[in-house]
Structures are given as structure tokens and as C-alpha cells.
């Protein structure tokens, strides 16, 4: 319930029933966040719950053209200003207070890979951005419009250019 209240506050409303009803009709991003919260909760309630989660996911796809997996872990205060075409894969972890604009894709690089993006608290991902693979964003990070971040086990690429490499001592930014 606290995540729901934080989602409500993220769209500029107080946590009252009256404000929630207003947000439901005035803010489609809040509706999508509620759908995700319901699917996430249902997916943990056994076989019947998983069926309900799949039905809610399909409703999200029909209503908003968004595919947010119920198995993704999204912190409270999710803000979706323009909820169209958002894709969030099953292993994605998003911190609290995150903002995702339309056309954002968060997922794995290929079917055989298990690494998904992890986003910190208060991260903003602007429209059309794609984050795939082992991409870790720190708290307060911003990803620009149309950015493509590809996380590989030993390097991070942006728009096809290596921007950081993992060494034994940690991440290193190559000189240009």
C-alpha cells in the first residue's frame, strides 16, 4: 500500500481516496503503475495469482501498448508521464522515485543472457532510450533522449562506442 501511495504522490496527488479517484481518471501513468502493482502482487500469490498477473499484463499491453513484467522489481514513487510503448523486462530492478518516459526499453541483450539493467533511486529515463544487458545506473542518473546503453559483462557501450571497461580494480573510462 505504501508503494501505491508513493505512486500517487509522484503524480502530484495526496494519498486520499478522493485524490486517487481523480488521478485514476486524469493520469494514465498512475493507472499503468496501479496495473503493474496489482500484477506484481498477484504473481506472488500462487498459480491463480500468476494467471491474474498475466491477464493484467495483457490489459496493460492492450490499453497502453506497454509491456511491464510482473516479475520486475520497481520501487515506490514510479512516475510515468507519457505511458506509451514502455517495455520493462522480468529481471529489471528499478529504485524508488524513478521516472520513465514513453518508448523506453529496459531488458536483456539476448534470449540466452540473464543480465538485466538495474536503476538506482530517482533515475530519469527520457523518451526512446534503450538500456539492455548489465547496465547499472547510480542514484539520480539521467539517460537522454534516444540513448542506447548496452551492458556487457566487461564493458558498457553507448551508441556503439565503449564508454567504460571493467577491470579488476573497477570500472575505467577509456581515453579518446
Domains of the chain: which residue ranges?
Answer: 2-172
Q: Which residues contact 158 (CB under 8 A, 6 or more apart)?
A: 147, 148, 149, 150
Tally Cβ neighbours within 10 Å of residue 12: 12
The whole-number pLDDT of residue 76 equals 93
Give the pLDDT of residue 25: 80
CA distances from 129 to 16, 82, 86, 102, 150 (A): 34, 14, 10, 9, 11
- Which of 150, 80, 76, 79 has its CA nearest to residue 117? 150
Q: Are strands 130-133 and 148-151 parallel, antiparallel or unpaired?
A: parallel
Q: What CATH number does the domain located at 2-172 have?
A: 2.160.10.10
| pLDDT above 60: residue 62 | yes
What is the spatial distance between Cα 19 and Cα 11, in angstroms, rounded to a whole number?
A: 10
What is the CA 114 to chain-centroid distance, rounded?
Answer: 17
Please say if the pLDDT value at position 161 is more than 80. no
What does the mean pLDDT of the chain come to?
84
More confident residue, 4 or 114: 114
H or E element, residue 136: strand 136-137
Q: Predicted confidence band at 163 (pLDDT cuts at 50, 70, 90)? A: low
User: What is residue 99's DSSP assignment?
Assistant: E
pLDDT of residue 167: 59
pLDDT 10s digits, 63-96: 999 999 999 999 999 999 989 999 999 999 999 9
- pTM, 2 dp: 0.83
Q: Which of 17-21, 33-37, 156-160, 169-173 has maximum average pLDDT?
A: 33-37
DSSP class of 173 = P
User: What pLDDT is attached to residue 153?
Assistant: 59
CB distance 36 to 78 below 8 Å: yes
> What pLDDT, on the 0 to 100 scale, is given for residue 23?
75
Amino acid at each position: 500500500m505504501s508503494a501505491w501511495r508513493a505512486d500517487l504522490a509522484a503524480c502530484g496527488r495526496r494519498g486520499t481516496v478522493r485524490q486517487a479517484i481523480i488521478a485514476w481518471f486524469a493520469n494514465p501513468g498512475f493507472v499503468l503503475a496501479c496495473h503493474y502493482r496489482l500484477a506484481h502482487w498477484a504473481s506472488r500469490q500462487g498459480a491463480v495469482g500468476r494467471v491474474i498477473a498475466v491477464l493484467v499484463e495483457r490489459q496493460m499491453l492492450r490499453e497502453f501498448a506497454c509491456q511491464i513484467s510482473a516479475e520486475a522489481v520497481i520501487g515506490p514513487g514510479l512516475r510515468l508521464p507519457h505511458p506509451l510503448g514502455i517495455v520493462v523486462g522480468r529481471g529489471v530492478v528499478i529504485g524508488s522515485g524513478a521516472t520513465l518516459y514513453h518508448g523506453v526499453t529496459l531488458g536483456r541483450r539476448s534470449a540466452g543472457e540473464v543480465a538485466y539493467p538495474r536503476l538506482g533511486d530517482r533515475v530519469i529515463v527520457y523518451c526512446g532510450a534503450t538500456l539492455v544487458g548489465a547496465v547499472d545506473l547510480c542514484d539520480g542518473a539521467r539517460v537522454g533522449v534516444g540513448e542506447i546503453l548496452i551492458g556487457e559483462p566487461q564493458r558498457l557501450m553507448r551508441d556503439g562506442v565503449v564508454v567504460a571497461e571493467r577491470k579488476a580494480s573497477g570500472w575505467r573510462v577509456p581515453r579518446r
